[in-house]
Amino acid sequence: MAADAGFAPAKVNLALHVTGRRDDGYHLLDSLVVFAGVGDRIDARPAGEWSLEIIGPFGGDLAAAPDNLVLRAARLTDGPPAALTLDKRLPVASGIGGGSADAAATLRALHHMDGRPLPTPEAVLSLGADVPVCLHGQPCRMSGIGETLSPLPALPPLWLCLLNSGEAVPTPAVFRALERRDNRPLGTIPEGRDAAEFAAWLGTQRNDLQAPATQIAPVISEALDALTATEGCFLARMSGSGATCFGLYASDAAAEAAANKISAAHPDWWTAAAPVL
């Protein structure tokens, strides 16, 4: 892990059930979370003062301002300043935890740089509900508002085709548009199944944010249809609060072929084929 401390993998909610709402307005979730072998990258080097440089294909969509999650995460740590570089490869505000993944990778990169302690789970939750799971970095079941993480049975090898049309969908607007907030939790997660059987079970679960996100960004339906039409796609679903959607496959070749097919038809859409880590 140490050599790859700065890797900020995309977070994918294979299922996401909204089961309630707290008095402060945050929603209670029950989600099966995995990470993909595609992501942003944080580099940290000792320096006389804090700085942040942003590069990469989506770097232009973000400012290196003090409220960038990279700098907010860095300020939670107890240690000397560093020069930070964010290589932004994931689309911004897209339901795959880009900002949360960057925050977690910043904490890991600074810890790797000089051994400063990682902040507590309570402290990182203040950066965003997805930051604890991104710091954990392992497939897990996530509940509460994002702070309760429990281990999963081993999953079969799976590959993803990730797809984003470029429309940013703000998370608060999607939660506001939810019709029901008291949905059933996840069912029992099956053990020892192959990819097809696991995906068939996953198909009986949901992303409760998919319908409200699709109302805000109807292109999500088009993305799901495009994934469903690819060969070997077991399941097509939206991740998080959208708009990124994923297709699930049993091989690297099938996920790659899906990404190639979709990017030929929609050259302006972001696509990536990647393993579930």
Ligand X SMILES: C[C@](O)(CO)[C@H](O)COP(=O)(O)OP(=O)(O)OC[C@H]1O[C@@H](n2ccc(N)nc2=O)[C@H](O)[C@@H]1O
- Where in the sequence numbering do the catalytic residues fall? 11, 130
For the CB of residue 265, give the shortest distance to ligand X in the complex, in Å: 27
Give the helix/strand (H/E) hosting 38. Answer: strand 27-46
**Minimum CB–partner distance for residue 166 and ligand ATP (Å):** 13
- Cβ neighbours of residue 232 closer than 8 Å, sequence gap 6 or more: 249, 250, 251, 254, 257, 258
95 marked as part of a ligand binding site: yes
d(CA 242, CA 238): 6
Residue placing its CB nearer to ligand ATP in the complex, 99 or 247 = 99
Contacts with ligand X, residue ranges (CB under 6 A) = 13, 16, 26-27, 29, 31, 95, 100, 128-130, 145-146, 171-172, 175, 240-241
The answer to whether the CB of 271 falls within 8 A of the CB of 262 is: yes
Q: Could you tell me the smallest distance in angstroms from the CB atom of residue 100 to ligand X?
A: 5
Q: Choosing among ligand ATP, ligand X, none, which partner's interface includes residue 94 (Cβ < 5 to 8 Å by kind)?
A: ligand ATP
Question: Contact at 8 Å (CB) between 127 and 76?
Answer: yes
Q: Which does 172 bind (CB under 5 to 8 A by kind): ligand X, ligand ATP, none?
A: ligand X
Q: Kindly report the CA angle at 91 between 185 and 163, in degrees rounded to 5?
A: 65
CB closer to ligand ATP, 153 vs 166: 166
- Which of 144, 172, 167, 180 shows the shortest CA–CA distance to 33? 144
- Which residues make up the interface to ligand ATP (CB under 6 A)? 62, 68-70, 86, 92-100, 102, 130, 171, 240-241
Annotated binding site for ATP: 91-101
